[in-house]
Amino acid sequence: MDRREFIKISTIGSSVIFVQKENLAKAAVDEPVQTDGKIDRITLPSACWQCVSRCAIIGYVENNRLVKIDGNPNSRRNEGKVCAKGQAGINQVYHPDRVLYPLKRIGKRGSGKWEKISWEEALGLIVDGGEIEGTKVKGLRTLREEGTPEKFLFHYGRMVGSDYTIIRNYFLNAYGTASIGDHNSICVNAGGIARMLSGDVTPGFPFDEAKFILNFGNSLFEAGFDHVPFVRRVSGMIENGTRLVTFDVRLSNTAAKSNEWIPVKPGTDLAVILALCNVIVRNKLYNKEEFQMSANVTIEELENHLAHYTPQWAEEISGVPTHKIISIAKEFGSTKFSVAISQRGAFMHFNGVQTQRAIYLLNALSGNLGSQKVVMEFPQWDYPFPFPDGAKDRLDLFEGEKGKYVITAGNVSHQICHMIDIEKDKPELYMVYCHNPVYSNGDCNQNARIYGDTKKIPFLVAIDVALSETSELADLVLPDTTYLERWTCETGRAPKGIAEYYIRQPLTEPLGESRNFVDVACDLAARLDLDLGFSSSEEFVRETCNNTAVIKDAGGFDFMRKNGIYQDDNTGTSFVQRRKINIRSEELRKKGFSGIPGWMPIPGHDKLDDNELILTTFKTNVQTHSRTQNCKWLTELFHENPAWINTKTAERLGVENGSLIKINSPIGSLITKARVTQGIHPDAISISNHGGHWAWGFYASGQRSFVHDTNFESDIRNKWWKANGAHVNSIIPNTGDPIAGSMCWNDTVVRIEKV
Amino acid sequence: MKDNNPKRSILEIAAFAIVGLIGIACWRFLNSIEYLLFPDRKKRLIMLIDLDKCIGCNVCSVACKSENGVALGQYRTQVLEAEEGVYPSVQRLFLPVMCNHCEEAPCLKACENKAIIKRSDGLVFIDKEKCKGLQLCIPACPYGAIYFNQDADPSADVRDYPSRAVGRSDKCDLCMGRIDVGLEPACSDTCPTDARVFGDMRDGNDPIRKKIHEEKLTGLLPGKGTGPQVYYRGGNRDLFKDTIVNPHN
């Protein structure tokens, strides 16, 4: 039977019986099949949200309990596949420490003392203000009436698809605040700013036809944008003979599954890339026609600029052997065709913007960014409700300290609490949504101090599915639905630019009194007499489906509820990109940086003494940064995050595998186990994210937030692991790179002590 | 009358033996080409795990837990890891392990209650009605693929995890319920690189059957004579020589 054709499933005791139906479309909203004494299994299409990739999924429901998730086989993006995080999404719903009703603080901030209140009271507090533990707080209405709507600061982590549109473009604009924080500066902002400086160039090359992929610091087999779809593409290409070569400080699983791993000293990818360009230009291995047509520098200028970036020079800095740089450069230049990819490992450094710009240069040399390349536009929903005017009023908290960074695009959100601390500005109502800034930014102790200070942040409201390190400090916690209990319009782009429209719909009734925050925002708007044009997320999704031409023709909302996805080869519009690529950036040159990407050493990295190592962080394959440690199946697989340290370095420092070490950074120290391995650069020490939660529930931290009357997770007594790992962000300062103000995750010099 | 000719009886025995051996050989030969003679007659379900393709993402073990309500602390399938080499020439390998649905399943022989059944399609499963929880099968399995459901609160489990059989031995059943309606087992179904492929050894058109024959692929611990029906390809399995046993069970 074709996977596309099943839908109804029943179970008897332990064995599952599936009942075949005509197709997914028809059966999704059918009544459950009654098979005497057996449990019915119903399937519904929806969308994942465990990570940014948001694959299309189908959920299986038995007795109103979500029991299993599979990839939606109709999607040409993830082709019926999801990753471990996607499979464990169920754990988000039945997480035993979920917040199931609105909570109001009754002790000091962070004391863990809460009062269960009604939604009516909670929304009243937000709109009209009131008293929290004897202190008066201002509500949204007052701030607006006083002419200071910008004192409502909204800070989100993951807000995607129509959730983003509804909250940001409708609700926050209608209200009138542009004080909006995000998580870009701790994510990939250096890469984004590099792209902006290069002229918003969209790579338009036929990636799937590449025969040589050069990867700088991208753990694509573990995480990343479009994770599962990209894994499928790249692994298929490797099987068909494409060579993948990975530069990384660490033998990531991606490096291990590449044809070749080339270890590089942290923060020196830029030197290697410049030397690769040097060899390519000297040996005339570039695509001359494409390069000259698309770049704003001539080959001669480039040759002069690169002249002293020789492979020998790069070897001294990066430790990558000269012969290796030459052979990789020749392979890159002579393979038809080759492509360079990257991620945070390359660009979340002090010199990250220049590194990413150098990667653009590498791609421009091989003709990938040519002016004649066809680019597919991202599919767009046609929202039927008129947008309110954009809000302009904004607190001065989002660009970092004045004059410190060249171009931030307002995205230095990891320094918001520092800016509040030094009293650059002050929000009255600080709302945190699907984000955990205390844990996810650097310097966690400092963050906790500021978020815990009622004088700095008078009214802190968290919208969360469980009590995180941030929401446990809040004055008011609103219980959000998980992504498996809500409505969203989503779009994606499959290989070859195929447009994919899909929706997220509830697979199960929201647990307890939890409410989708998008619906709550609609309620808040109504109480503030703001007319958004719609009153719920379901209405918004329904009307948008029925208003978007291609979806309407296919059957509108009903079609999408049954199928989950609509995709059509013809819906993606393509255009020929005729932009020039700014290989030279005048903006950077004026500010004293190298206009054409040039070497930019990281302060303190050139002379490391015997006990100094460079600390880098990474993601493992079964966790997202901070949001999935409450998922029992994931944390069972990954709950300890030891420090990776090279065997020779460990010998020198007298560190044994599995022994405890103390890692001292300029702002603090942590104690964790050493993982002594041959698979890391001798100058690096690497600790994954995800560990060391001190909140976020029993599976993440070993501590219950509170116990519910009804236990809906009987597995909790089977938790066998005791260790929760260490949180590496605590010892990384909240710095910013000098161009974009992006977090320098991978630059901290640390000292090691035996414990 | 008693036949006193020892020579003749030895010849007779030898002849019988030869005929017998030829018979067995013929039977085996016919068996091996059975799928050609009777293409629809029987299935022989197999799994091919390609270690070159496995990226160690662990989705198989999580998907399995979800589909089969497997408790924390236990796994029906897991991905083992090993590192080899000296910096900078280092490799890491992944080895997914699971029940091998053996032709000569030692667990089946060890069970006193005939609770372990090998179906005609080759799938080996534990009949939860017949299992008395004696756990004789657990040490009998050289792959460590069987565990015991010793959860303390059966009522909660029945409510939250109807498929968890408390007080019984348990193991991979190739997602029997899924495959009986033509779906794939949860693990191979979701494998992002198609490193796990589910197939039928008797289906002449099955690409993995072809691969297994052409590349003479085998399962784990071939020396044990268990006839594992989970085949492996690529990678350096020797690295896992002594550690293929599921460490959790």
Q: Give the span between the Cα atoms of A55 and A228, in whole angstroms.
A: 8
Query: A703 and A643, same structural domain?
Result: yes
Q: How close does chain B come to A680, measured CA to CA in Å?
A: 8
User: Given a cut of 80, is residue A37 above it in pLDDT?
Assistant: no
Segment A500-518 mean pLDDT: 96
Residue A16 contacts B where some CB pair is shorter than 8 Å: yes
Closest listed residue to residue A625, CA positions, set A707, A743, A736 = A743
Which residue in A11, A634, A713 is closest to B163 by CB distance? A11
Query: B19 and B98, same structural domain?
Result: no
Full residue range of the structural domain in which residue A364 is found: 203-374
Q: Which of residues 646-705 of A touch B (CB under 8 A)?
A: 646-648, 677-680, 682
Query: B111 and B159, same structural domain?
Result: yes
Is A14 a domain residue?
yes
Q: How close does chain A come to B88, measured CA to CA in Å?
A: 7
Is A453 a domain residue?
yes
Q: Do A251 and B180 touch (CB under 8 A)?
A: no
Best to test chain A binding among B57, B84, B125, B211 (most A CBs inside 10 Å): B57
Query: A412 and A305, same structural domain?
Result: no
CB of A380 within 8 A of CB of A162? no
Q: pLDDT band at A357, cuts 50/70/90?
A: very high
- Tell which wins on pLDDT, A572 or B151: B151
Query: A85 and A121, same structural domain?
Result: no
According to the model, what pLDDT value does residue B157 have? 59
Amino acid letter, B246: N
Q: Do B159 and A714 touch (CB under 8 A)?
A: yes
Query: B15 and B117, same structural domain?
Result: no
Query: B105 and B12, same structural domain?
Result: no
Q: How close does chain A come to B77, measured CA to CA in Å?
A: 12
Chain B residue numbers with beta carbons less than 8 Å from the beta carbon of A87 are 59, 62-63, 66, 190
Residue B119 contacts A where some CB pair is shorter than 8 Å: no
DSSP A350: T
User: Given a cut of 90, is residue A52 above it in pLDDT?
Assistant: yes
Q: How close does chain A come to B12, measured CA to CA in Å?
A: 52
Mean pLDDT of chain A: 91
According to the model, what pLDDT value does residue A206 have? 74
Chain A residue numbers with beta carbons less than 8 Å from the beta carbon of B90 are 251, 256, 261, 677-679
Q: pLDDT band at A681, cuts 50/70/90?
A: very high
CB of A132 within 8 A of CB of A140? no
Is A47 a domain residue?
yes
Is B37 a domain residue?
no
The H or E element spanning position A174 is helix A173-175
Q: Do B58 and A84 touch (CB under 8 A)?
A: yes
According to the model, what pLDDT value does residue A353 have? 98
Is B40 a domain residue?
no
User: Given a cut of 70, is residue A203 above it in pLDDT?
Assistant: no
Query: A209 and A65, same structural domain?
Result: no
According to the model, what pLDDT value does residue B33 have? 65
User: Given a cut of 80, is residue A423 above it in pLDDT?
Assistant: yes
Query: A351 and A210, same structural domain?
Result: yes
C-alpha pair distances (Å), A313 with each of A215, A422, A721, B14: 21, 42, 48, 81
Best to test chain A binding among B53, B68, B87 (most A CBs inside 10 Å): B87
Q: Give the span between the Cα atoms of A587 and A199, in whole angstroms.
A: 11
Q: What percent of chain B has pLDDT over 90?
A: 60
Give the domain CATH number at B169: 3.30.70.20
Amino acid letter, A44: L
Query: A621 and A490, same structural domain?
Result: no
Is A573 a domain residue?
no
Which residue in A15, A263, A622 is closest to B176 by CB distance? A15
Is A125 a domain residue?
yes
Is A468 a domain residue?
yes
Chain A residue numbers with beta carbons less than 8 Å from the beta carbon of B83 are 251, 677-679
According to the model, what pLDDT value does residue B244 have? 55
Q: How close does chain B come to A545, measured CA to CA in Å?
A: 29
Q: Which residues contact A191 (CB under 8 A, 6 or more apart)?
A: A342, A343, A344, A347, A352, A356
Q: Give the span between the Cα atoms of A414 and A650, in whole angstroms.
A: 33
Is B79 a domain residue?
yes
Query: A335 and A361, same structural domain?
Result: yes
Q: Do B90 and A17 touch (CB under 8 A)?
A: no
Q: Which residues contact B17 (CB under 8 A, 6 or more apart)?
A: none
Query: A632 and A558, same structural domain?
Result: no
CB of A620 within 8 A of CB of A704? no
Query: A543 and A628, same structural domain?
Result: no
Chain B residue numbers with beta carbons less than 8 Å from the beta carbon of A646 are 87
User: Given a cut of 90, is residue B159 above it in pLDDT?
Assistant: no
According to the model, what pLDDT value does residue B12 have? 85
According to the model, what pLDDT value does residue B37 have? 62
Q: How close does chain B come to A591, measured CA to CA in Å?
A: 39
Query: A157 and A48, same structural domain?
Result: no
Closest listed residue to residue A641, CA positions, set A674, A601, A669, A606 = A674
Which residue in A82, A253, A713 is closest to B56 by CB distance? A253
Q: Give the span between the Cα atoms of B138 and A197, in whole angstroms.
A: 62
Q: How close does chain B come to A620, measured CA to CA in Å?
A: 9
Closest listed residue to residue A266, CA positions, set A687, A700, A705, A707 = A687
Segment A576-595 mean pLDDT: 87
Q: Is the peptide bond before A559 cis (omega within 30 degrees of 0)?
A: no
Query: B91 and B19, same structural domain?
Result: no
Closest listed residue to residue A663, CA positions, set A644, A682, A639, A648 = A644
Q: Kindly report, residue by residue over B115-156, the tens digit of the pLDDT.
A: 999 999 999 999 999 999 999 999 999 999 999 987 656 566
Q: Give the span between the Cα atoms of B194 and B220, in whole angstroms.
A: 20
Residue B164 contacts A where some CB pair is shorter than 8 Å: yes
Q: Kindly report, residue by residue over A463-503, the tens digit of the pLDDT.
A: 999 999 999 999 999 999 999 999 999 998 877 778 899 99
Best to test chain B binding among A6, A714, A717, A719 (most B CBs inside 10 Å): A714
Is B39 a domain residue?
no
Is B212 a domain residue?
yes
Between A213-217, A738-742, B12-16, B46-50, the lowest mean confidence (pLDDT) is in: B12-16
What is the domain count for chain B? 2
Q: Is the peptide bond before A96 cis (omega within 30 degrees of 0)?
A: no
Q: How close does chain B come to A559, measured CA to CA in Å?
A: 24
Between A66-75, A271-280, A541-550, B36-45, the lowest mean confidence (pLDDT) is in: B36-45
Query: B204 and B103, same structural domain?
Result: yes
User: Given a cut of 50, is residue A241 above it in pLDDT?
Assistant: yes
- Tell which wins on pLDDT, A419 or B167: A419
Query: B78 and B26, same structural domain?
Result: no
Give the domain CATH number at A440: 3.40.50.740
Query: B179 and B113, same structural domain?
Result: yes
Query: A728 and A647, same structural domain?
Result: yes
CB of A563 within 8 A of CB of A24? yes
Give the domain CATH number at A659: 2.40.40.20
Residue A711 contacts B where some CB pair is shorter than 8 Å: yes
User: Given a cut of 60, is residue B1 above it in pLDDT?
Assistant: no
Query: B133 and B24, same structural domain?
Result: no
According to the model, what pLDDT value does residue A512 have? 93
Is B146 a domain residue?
yes
What is the domain count for chain A? 4
DSSP A169: I
Between A390-394, A571-575, B106-110, B209-213, the lowest mean confidence (pLDDT) is in: A571-575
Q: Phi/psi of residue B175, each to 5°?
A: 50, 55
Give the domain CATH number at A15: 3.30.200.210
Residue B127 contacts A where some CB pair is shorter than 8 Å: no
Q: Which residues contact A120 (CB under 8 A, 6 or more apart)?
A: none
Segment A452-459 mean pLDDT: 97
Query: B72 and B165, same structural domain?
Result: yes
Query: A449 and A330, same structural domain?
Result: no
Q: Which residue of A has its CA nearest to B56?
A: A253
The number of CA neighbours under 13 Å toward the Cβ of B178 is: 21
Q: Do A71 and B55 touch (CB under 8 A)?
A: no
According to the model, what pLDDT value does residue A549 have? 93
Residues for chain B: how many in total? 249
Closest listed residue to residue B204, CA positions, set B37, B69, B84, B20 = B37
Q: How close does chain B come to A184, measured CA to CA in Å?
A: 26
Is B247 a domain residue?
no
Is A108 a domain residue?
yes
Residue B247 contacts A where some CB pair is shorter than 8 Å: no
Q: Do A678 and B87 touch (CB under 8 A)?
A: yes
Residue B1 contacts A where some CB pair is shorter than 8 Å: no
Q: How close does chain A come to B94, measured CA to CA in Å?
A: 10
Q: What percent of chain A has pLDDT over 70?
A: 92
Chain B residue numbers with beta carbons less than 8 Å from the beta carbon of A647 are 87
Q: How close does chain B come to A482, measured CA to CA in Å?
A: 18
According to the model, what pLDDT value does residue A414 have? 96
Give the domain CATH number at A239: 3.40.228.10
- Helix/strand/coil for A81: coil
- Helix/strand/coil for A152: strand
Chain A residue numbers with beta carbons less than 8 Å from the beta carbon of B182 are 1, 6, 18, 20
Structure tokens at B175: 């997602």
Which residue in B55, B66, B160 is closest to A87 by CB distance? B66
Q: Give the span between the Cα atoms of A513 and A119, in whole angstroms.
A: 8
Query: B94 and B59, same structural domain?
Result: yes
Query: B51 and B21, same structural domain?
Result: no
Q: Which residue of A has its CA nearest to B188?
A: A81
Residue A324 contacts B where some CB pair is shorter than 8 Å: no
Q: Do A13 and B88 touch (CB under 8 A)?
A: no
CA A32 to chain centre: 37
Angle at A224 between CA A220 and CA A225, to 5 degrees: 120
Is A285 a domain residue?
yes
Full residue range of the structural domain in which residue B18 is found: 6-32
Chain B residue numbers with beta carbons less than 8 Å from the beta carbon of A222 are 57
